[in-house]
Structures are given as structure tokens and as C-alpha cells.
Structure 1
Amino acid sequence: MEEPEMQLKGKKVTDKFTESVYVLANEPSVALYRLQEHVRRSLPELAQHKADMQRWEEQSQGAIYTVEYACSAVKNLVDSSIYFRSVEGLLKQAISIRDHMNASAQGHSAVKNLVDSSIYFRSVEGLLKQAISIRDHMNASAQGHSPALGHDLRRPSTGGSRFPPAPARSLQAQLRMSPYVASLFLDSLEGILEVPLL
């Protein structure tokens, strides 16, 4: 009776020992296999996350650099207010100089026009003197021949005028003025002489 019990107990002990040996022999390989499978499944995702993080880091660094550059530009603009005030002052000076030059040019042109017109004034003075002299001669010789002019004013000339147009043309040539001004002078002469000159 004791031998079968001893055999049964011995078999149980050996089975447990064998199972323990199998567990000890196979457990590291199972753990490594599980670890290998876990790494194989997780590694691509981890690599993708790493690449995304690197790309985000580069973008963040670029954005930080842009913000820093913009901040430095704003600081430089704040510091350059002195230069802007200097430019404003220079522009005001330039505008003032331009206005002064325009005023000077207008003044010079006005003075030049006055100087040029003095010649016309002298010519007009001589012209009026000659016109008055001619009118006096015409009034004095209305009844006969005028020895000073050398023409018979009672006889009409070939152009239908009582007075020859040669003196008026010579005076117009002496004046050397524009046709418009010359026509005004000739109209004045016609009004004084009361005869058409041209």
C-alpha cells in the first residue's frame, strides 16, 4: 500500500518539477517574442511620430525666427523716428526752396517783361509824337499843300486813303513787337489820325 502512494507522490513532484523546468526554459523566449512583436507593431508608429515632431520643431523654429525678426524690425522703426523727423525737415526745406525758386523765376520774368516793355513804351512814345505831329500837319494843311510832309493831303492816294501807309509800316518795323501788339498800336494811330493806315 505504501509503494503506490509513494509512486503517486513522486510522480506529482516530478511533474511539477518538469513543468517548472519547462516554464523556466521557455519563459524568456516567450517574453522576448512578445517584446519583439510589440516593438514590431509600435516602431513604425513611433518613427512616424518622431518625424512629425521633427517637422513641427523645424516649423516652430522658423516661426520663432520670423517673430524675432519682426520684433527687431519694429524696434528699429521705433528707434528710427529721429531719421523720419530729419527726412520730414529736409522735405519741408525742399518744398520751401522750390517755392522760393518759383517765386524768383516769376519775379525775374516780371522784371524782364518790364525791361522789355520799356522799349515798347519808348517806341509808343515816339509813335504818338509822330502821330500828333502828323495830325497837326493834316489839320494845318487841310486847305492846301503841306511842305513838311511833301504830299498833297487833299488828293486821295492810290490805296483810297488820305495819308500814305508807308510811315505806319516803317514804325511797325521799328517797334519789333508781336503782330497783336502792333495791331493795337496801329488801331490807336488810326483813332488819333482818324484815317485808315493799312
Structure 2
Amino acid sequence: MDPPNSPISRDLQFRSKQLAERLSECAHILDHDPSMALYRLQEHANKMVPRMVARRCQMGQQNANIQGACFDLDNAIQTIGQMKLAQPTFERIQNALRNSVYFKQQIEHEMARKRSVNGKE
């Protein structure tokens, strides 16, 4: 075997010590990190969940508002379409009113002429 102070023995001891330290560090991380990770997750969840719930409620309200606006818009589009379909009816009514006013003026003119003819006699 090699003497205790030989370069190979010192190198072997150094590498063995490094390996032991690394294994110890890995065991320590595996032992403590999961609980630390779970603690960090819990901390993050406690911090973020109330914000996320508030945001979800806000998104629900905005979604309801958007759906209401879409319903109103669809209703307005249908109403305008129905008004376009009613346009010929309104034009006929306008022509009938125009004719009625014209005939009323004709009747009033005839009545006034008869009065003036009767008044001269």
C-alpha cells in the first residue's frame, strides 16, 4: 500500500472528502428542500389566490357586461332591419296623408267658392 503521506494518498483523501461533502450536501438539500419548496408554494398560493379570485369575479362581471352589450346590439340590428322592411308602409301612409291634405284643400276651396257665389246672389 501507499504510505500515508504519498501524493496518491493525499489526492485520494481530498477527493474522498469532496465526495463526502457533496453527498452530504445533496442529502441535506433532499431532506430540507421539499419542505422549503412546499412552504414557498403555500406562501405563493396564500398571496396570489385572493388576487386570482378577485380577478375571476371581475372577469365574470365584464363577461356579463359584454354579453349584455352584444344582446343590445343584436336587438338594435334586428330593429333597424324591421324598420327598413316597414319603409314602404310609411311611404304609403305619407302618400295617403299628402292626398288627404290635397283633397281637404280642394274641398275647402270649393266651399269657399260656393260661399262667395251664394254671397253675390
TM-score of the two chains, using structure 2 as the length reference:
0.68
Q: Counterpart of 1:93?
A: 99
Q: Counterpart of 1:6?
A: none
Instruction: Give per-residue Cα distances to partners, 1:54-104, cap 9 Å, x unaligned.
Output: 122122112212221221122112111111111111111211221122112
The whole-number CA distance in structure 1 between the counterparts of 2:29 and 2:66 is 52
Q: Counterpart of 1:79?
A: 85
Aligned length: 104
Structure 2: gaps spanning 5 or more residues: 1-15
Q: Counterpart of 2:50?
A: 44
Q: Counterpart of 1:104?
A: 110
The whole-number CA distance in structure 1 between the counterparts of 2:63 and 2:96 is 48
Considering only CA atoms, is the larger Rg found in Structure 1 or Structure 2? 1
State whether structure 2 residue 53 is matched by structure 1 residue 66: no
Question: Which of the two has greater helix per residue?
Answer: 2
The whole-number CA distance in structure 2 between the counterparts of 1:53 and 1:71 is 27
Instruction: Give per-residue Cα distances to partners, 1:125-159, cap 9 Å, x unaligned.
Output: xxxxxxxxxxxxxxxxxxxxxxxxxxxxxxxxxxx
Percent identical residues? 20
Q: Counterpart of 2:13?
A: none
* Higher RCO (CA-CA < 8 Å; seq separation 6+): 1
Report the residue type matching 1:102 in the other structure: E
Report the residue type matching 2:36 in the other structure: V
TM-score of the two chains, using structure 1 as the length reference:
0.44
Q: Counterpart of 2:4?
A: none
Secondary structure in structure 2 of the residue aligned to 1:80: helix
Q: Counterpart of 2:59?
A: 53
Q: Over the residues paired in the alignment, what is the CA RMSD in angstroms?
A: 2.8
